Amino acid sequence: MNPSTLIGMLGGLGMLVAVLFFAAEEPTAFINLPGLAIVLGGTFAATFLSYPLKEVLRVFGLFGIVLRNERLYTRDDMEELIQISRLWLRGDIRAVENALDKVSNPFLRTGVQLLIDLTPEEDILDLLQWRISRLRARERAEAQLFRVMASFAPAFGMIGTLVGLINMMFILDEGDIAVIGQHMAVALLTTFYGILLANMVFKPIAVKLERRTEQRVVLMNMVLQGISMMCQKRNPTLMRETLNSFMAHYKDEIHDPSIRLDTENGAQEAEGAGRGR
């Protein structure tokens, strides 16, 4: 399982447990199945109305993507690309094809195969950029699906609140506190469920999917740059340094203590030299 997802789930569950057992007079009062049914049922009903059936059914698969610890193997793809570049630079097409059979990244395989087929560089880059755009659009739509669900959940929570208040108005004359309390619970808890689902489930999943897309696009752009350099028959060493720039973690030159210490030492040395004069 993805470590950050696991930490978030445990943290959210821990927060709810703490609220229910330490800040609530009666923890079971926060359990209201009719209110939860209004929020979940309404949210999924509105989602089915908004999207085609095929896209809505993908929600369950996307839950699995968020839960599992997905690796991108960026370093492995870069090493494979550099190795194939060396073979390509030597003109050993047979060795390039053999190395290509071991490549698991379909995007990289497509680019190298087009290169072997002597496709013009401009056409290769256009095709690969189109595939990047298509992936970004598709996965952005998947994340947007959860953002839409996050907007529906609080709305149906308010609908449940109105239903509870309307029912409560009809029984005010009877004065039965137990019945009034039951309808008031539905009125308040549906809003609680809607806000909780929106901000603890749907929105976090959307953000995680968007972040996943950004990482995948960076990897694909790295491969795109490598294919372009292969078309130009650039040196593999130069390719390695260029592709490393896609994976670099830049230091903060303002707040990095080591950089600040070096700067201060340099200033002190310059001041001492000035005084010596």
CA distances from 201 to 52, 84, 176, 241 (A): 22, 43, 37, 40
**What integer pLDDT is reported at residue 124 of this predicted model?**
93
Length of the chain in terms of residues written: 277
Residue 4 has pLDDT above 60, yes or no: yes
Distance (Å, rounded) from C-alpha 78 to C-alpha 67?
26
C-alpha–C-alpha distance, residues 4 and 262, integer Å: 35
Parse the chain into domains and list their residue ranges. 36-247
pLDDT digits (tens, 9 = 90+) for 245-257: 777 654 444 445 5
For residues 217 and 132, the answer to whether their CB atoms sit within 8 Å is yes
The stretch 218-230 carries a mean pLDDT of: 90
Report the SS3 class of residue 172.
Answer: coil
Task: Quote the pLDDT of residue 250.
Answer: 42
The confidence band for 267, taking pLDDT boundaries of 50, 70 and 90, is very low
Over residues 8-50, the pLDDT tens digits come to 888 888 888 887 777 667 777 778 888 889 999 999 999 999 9
Mean pLDDT across 236-265: 61
Query: What is the tens place of the pLDDT at every residue in 128-182?
Result: 999 999 999 999 999 999 999 999 999 999 998 888 888 777 777 666 676 777 7
**At 170, phi and psi to the nearest 5?**
-75, -20
Q: What is the pLDDT of residues 175-204, one digit of tens each?
A: 667 677 776 777 888 899 999 999 999 999
Q: Residue 69's pLDDT is what?
A: 66
Question: What pLDDT does 16 receive?
Answer: 81
Q: What number is the average pLDDT over the span 103-128? A: 91
pLDDT averaged over the chain?
82
pTM given for the model: 0.77
Angle value at C-alpha 106, between 103 and 109, nearest 5 degrees: 60
User: Please, which residues have CB within 8 angstroms of residue 218's CB and are 6 or more apart in sequence?
Assistant: 246
Whole-angstrom distance, CA of residue 112 vs CA of residue 230 = 9
